[in-house]
Structure formats: C-alpha cells, structure tokens
Structure 1
Amino acid sequence: YSMLEAIHSTGMSWVFAIPLAAVIVRCGIVLPFISIPARKVQQRFVLITPVVAGWKAAVRRHVWGTNTDLTPPVMQQIIEGHDKNTKHLLYMRWKCQWWRRAMPFLSVPFFLTLAETIRRMVGSRPGLLGMLAGDADGQTMKSTVGTAVSKVSSGELDTYLDPSLTTEGALWFTDLTAADPTLILPFIVSGITFAHIAYGSRLPSGVKISAASGFLRRGLLVLSLSLWALIMNVPSGILLYWASSTAAAFANALFLDWRLPLGKMIAPAK
C-alpha cells in the first residue's frame, strides 16, 4: 500500500501507477531474488538429469547381473532404493533439490499481496470469491460512499479506500472500482495468461512428457482461455494490475530464456 501511495503521490494517475507497481514488484523483487536463482537451479537440474538416468541404468545392469537368485520384484525394489539414494545425493551435491526447484512459487505471495491491497482500495468484496463476484450487483465505490461515511464515526472505515480510483482510469475504463462493461480487460487478461502458460510450458523437440503432465498443460490452457468468463465482474483496477503483472512475468520469462537459457536436453548416458 505504501508503495502504491508513494507512486501516486508523485502526481501519476492510478491507471499508470498500478501497472508501474506491478512492474516494480515483478522486475525489481521477483526477477533478481526468485526468478534468476530459480532459473540457475533449473539449469543445473537439466545438466544432471542425464547423469541420473545413466546411473539408474548402470545400477539396473549391476543388480540384474549380480543377483540372479532374486525374484524380479525384489530386484526392482533394490533398484528403486539405489535410484532414490543416488538422486538424493546428486541433487544435494548440485543444489537442485525439489524445494529449490519449487522456488518460482515464492512469487505467488507477492502477486496476491498487491492484488489484495488493490482490492481493498477499490472497495471490492473480500476474498477470491468476492473479487470474482465483484460488482455483479452494480455496486461500485460511488454507490458505497454513503455506507463508508456512516462508518467513519464508528472507526470501521477501511483506510485503504481511495475515491480517486473512480476517476483516474483511462479510455473505456475510467472508473477503476467498477467492472469493465465492454469485457475488453477480461479478454486481455485471459489472452496474456494463455500466452504466458503456452510459452512457459513448451517442450524442447524430441522430449516426451507423461500423460498426466500433458493433461495438466492442456487443462491450464483451456482454463486460461475461459478465464475471462470468471473475472468479468472483477473491478477494472484489479484486472489492470493482473494484466500488468502477468505481462511483466511473461517479459521476465523471455529475458531468462535470452540470458540464462536452459540449453538442449542431453541424451542419457548408456
């Protein structure tokens, strides 16, 4: 909230201050402290993956060659045990454990925190379902001024509420506290989200994924295409932030592929 107010206090309208805040968070905090370290972990993981696969093949040959008296299920258990220990040691040595590979998820709290701040500023309903419901009943900040004034004396007024958001929009969405009646902003958010997911989930040529991973990828793409229908009642200020943040994340992904490419997948050792 303080960052948004500081940007707005320079005389910048909210229609520019909100996207700028999203870019600052994505490029000034998430990129250097989360995205770049996470990409370096991914690079090490790609390099070590063929070694892990080759080691598993070597262990399989060794177990099958030296334990001919054991049943196949028992030998398979021995192989899986060796494989698990080998992965643990290699991933720990190369610093690419599962929790390091999950670093990109650390950016989610930053996105949600700023989204929640903007939600309170535009006077939207609390919670995710509240934001999705948005102004479906036609209620905007302009229609809640009377309620807000009645709460001043009791101290219940949310100090985050900012009436200037009703007039500092632009183009067709001049009121950032109301939903976009043209549905252009929801379609923009849906399109950018689809492009980001499609780009981020692409695979190198020749690489196959499991059926579950393929199903998840297709599901996310379908969900992103239909996202506009779920967010059509969300206030324009939140959608403006959502579009700006997702576009900045997409730009960060392009930058990482340029400066820190993952490289081609190497065939496992035989």
Structure 2
Amino acid sequence: MVNPSILRYGVRTVQLLQHQRPNYRNGPMLYQSVAHLSSSTFDTMYNKMINLEGVHYMEDTLAQLHDYTGIPWYGSIMLFTVGLRTVLSLPAQVTSHKVAAKRTIMFKEINEILPNLKAATEQHVRLKNFPAHEAPMRYKRVAQSIHRKKVVEHNCHMSKLFLPLYIQIPFWMFTSIAIRNICLLRASQERLELVNVFERNIQMAAEGALWFPNLTIPDPHFILPVIVGISFATNIFLGSIRMHSMSSEQANNRMSKYQRGLTIFMYSLAGLLVPLSAIQPSGLSLYWATSGAVGILFNLIVVSPKFRRFVRIPHVPTESATPYLDIKHAMLKLYNRVKF
C-alpha cells in the first residue's frame, strides 16, 4: 500500500509543476513540497530498516540471553558481543591472515618464474619471426595464466583477505539497530503485539552499571564515547602496522599514497564515532566499546607466532618474531611524532 503522505505530497508537487508559474514566489512552496516528499521517503526506508528480520532476530537473541542467564542487560550486551565476535570474527581473521601469508608465498614463486618466462617469450617471438610488439603481449598473457593457476593452487583469492569485513559489518549493523530499537522503543504495531517491547525497555533503563545506570539514555559523563573512539582508532593502528609489514620495500609511491589516504579516512571515521556515540543510548555505546575492545584483543592474538603456528598460518619472511615489541616501537614513534 502506498504511504498516504507520499501520495499527497507527490500530487501536490505535480500540481505545482503543471499549473504554477515558475516565479520567485512559487519557488519556496515547491521546495517545501519536495522536501516533505524526501523526508517521507527517508522515514519509510528507516522504518523498513528497523523492522528487518535480521534486526528482530538480534533483538530476540539478546533478550533470550538476558532472560535465560539472569545477567543484567549491560552484562548481556557485553557477553553477547564477546561470544559473537569469538565465533565469527576470530575465524575470519585467521583465514584472512592465512590468505595473506599464502599470497606472499605465491608471489615469491611467481617472481622466480617470470624472468625465465620473459626470456623464453622473447626467444620464441624471434624464432617464429613474429613482430616485436608480440613479445610483451604474449608474456603478459602467459603471466596472467600462471597467476590464476597459482591462486587456485594456494587457495588464496584476494577477496578472502576482506572476509572479516564481509562478516562483521552486517552483524554489527543489525546488532546496533537491534539495541537501539530496544533502548528507544522503536517497533511497529505488529511487533508490539508479538513481543513485550515495553518490558525490555524498562529493564534496559534499570540494568546499567557504574556511571551509566540507565542504558536507554546517552552516557552523561561522555566516557563510553571516548572509549569507542579510542578502541576503533587502536584497531586501525594495529591494522596499519600489519599492512606496513606486509608491503615490500619496492612498493610504489602510488600504493603508499593510497594506503595513507585510506588510513586517514579510517581515523576520521573513528573520530566521528565519538560525537555519534555521545548522542546514542548508553546500551549502544556499550556495544560499540565492547566490540572495539574485543577487536583489539583479537588483533593482538593473531600476530603471536605461537598462535599462528597453532592455527597453521604459514610462516613468511615478513612475519616478525617480536610483534609486540614492534607494536610498542610503533606506538612510541607515533607518540613522538604527535608530541613534536
């Protein structure tokens, strides 16, 4: 069924376009009509998002964990976050590191083949009396074929490097919307009839902790938003150290500029999370802060040489034997750069 408000403003817009003269006096009226139409469309999209089945599933799972364990809502949110990231994110991160190590080994093998391949291609072109420009084309075609075979052989397609993002982002979004729905009583009429949403909201308001006893209102002391920003920035910092160790000394300047730009963009997002968290319910900020803290823990675990051998991540020359010492030196270097 068409939203009546959208239909009403749509008809009004058409009437203005057909019957009103496009002068200065009619301009504001037309602008307000289009603005109302856009606002109604946004509301419809937002209502669809908060009523997605995945969001409702997260709401019900959180409520079941809270009811079965008897843990207050703040503890249920933290326990749910730790469990979800352990089950989904940690295996995905291990897979990403395995693929990165395999690709390093693969490119090393390819680089050992390419010089001989280039010489053989040039010799073949000369013997067959082909035009000179045929050599680079044939060389590129064979090199690409070898690359594809090596990718299949090592099972290290580049898309698997981003497996943690593919898994984390949907669950992070659904869980964030679910917690916000409970805190702010966001539910459709049909949802209100099926689930006791009011009871969950009342429990949220009374089962906070420490300086945030009420999870349905923003953190009054601004501590959780700061933790959110610091934790996400720390994860970006640890990820940049990993990318730096993976990149070879022969990396071109264009890639270095791209990496620097991407890092600056990610740090900017981490900074924006601070004011965004400050206007969100404490329950949502607590989820973001816990997720960021667990991410830091996992990022520190997967660089341990003992853990990497335990989960069978191949050893590569770029792997550091003292990763935690390297992180310490990188932090001191960053501190001195910011200080001076």
- Which runs of no fewer than 5 residues in structure 2 stay unpaired? 1-58, 320-340
Contact 2:88 2:167 in 1 (8 A): no
Q: Deviations over 1:36-63 (max 9, x none)?
A: 3333222222221211233334333333
Q: Which residue of 1 aligns with 2:263?
A: 217
Do residues 170 (structure 1) and 186 (structure 2) align? no
Q: Deviations over 1:145-190 (max 9, x none)?
A: xxx9xx69x9568754522111211222222111223322111101
Q: Which residue of 1 aligns with 2:89?
A: 30
Q: Deviations over 1:1-30 (max 9, x none)?
A: 343223322221111110110000011333
Give the distance between the partners of 1:155 and 1:8, measured in 2 at CA.
19
SS at match of 2:155: coil
Give the distance between the partners of 2:270 and 2:123, measured in 1 at CA.
50
Residue 118 of structure 1: which of 176, 179, 193 is its match?
179
Displacement after TM superposition at 1:123 (Å): 1.9
Moved more, 1-10 or 203-212: 203-212
Within a 5 Å distance, the mapping from 1:120-139 to structure 2 comes to 120-123=181-184
Displacement after TM superposition at 1:197 (Å): 0.9
Q: Which residue of 2 aligns with 1:46?
A: 104
AA at the equivalent of 1:21: F
AA at the equivalent of 2:258: A
Flag the 1:71–1:226 CA change in 2: closer, same or farther, 3 A: farther
Q: Which residue of 2 aligns with 1:239?
A: 285
Flag the 1:42–1:205 CA change in 2: closer, same or farther, 3 A: closer
Contact 2:225 2:285 in 1 (8 A): yes
AA at the equivalent of 1:169: G
SS at match of 2:303: helix
Q: Which residue of 2 aligns with 1:4?
A: 62
For CA contacts below 8 A with separation 6 or more, give which structure has more relative contact order: 1
AA at the equivalent of 1:172: W
Do residues 191 (structure 1) and 244 (structure 2) align? no
Percentage of identical aligned residues: 22
Give the distance between the partners of 1:204 and 1:125, measured in 2 at CA.
45
Larger Rg: 2
The normalised TM-score by structure 2 is: 0.62
Give the distance between the partners of 2:267 and 2:316, measured in 1 at CA.
25
Q: Which residue of 1 aligns with 2:169?
A: 108
Give the distance between the partners of 1:197 and 1:61, measured in 2 at CA.
43
Displacement after TM superposition at 1:118 (Å): 1.1
Do residues 83 (structure 1) and 175 (structure 2) align? no
Give the distance between the partners of 1:56 and 1:235, measured in 2 at CA.
57
Tell me the C-alpha RMSD between the 2 structures. 2.9
Displacement after TM superposition at 1:236 (Å): 1.1
Q: Deviations over 1:228-249 (max 9, x none)?
A: 1333212111111111112112
- Stretches (4+) displaced over 6 A: none
The normalised TM-score by structure 1 is: 0.76
**Which structure has more helix as a fraction of its residues?**
2
Flag the 1:205–1:80 CA change in 2: closer, same or farther, 3 A: closer
Contact 2:246 2:318 in 1 (8 A): no
SS at match of 1:245: helix
Displacement after TM superposition at 1:93 (Å): 0.7
Displacement after TM superposition at 1:70 (Å): 3.8
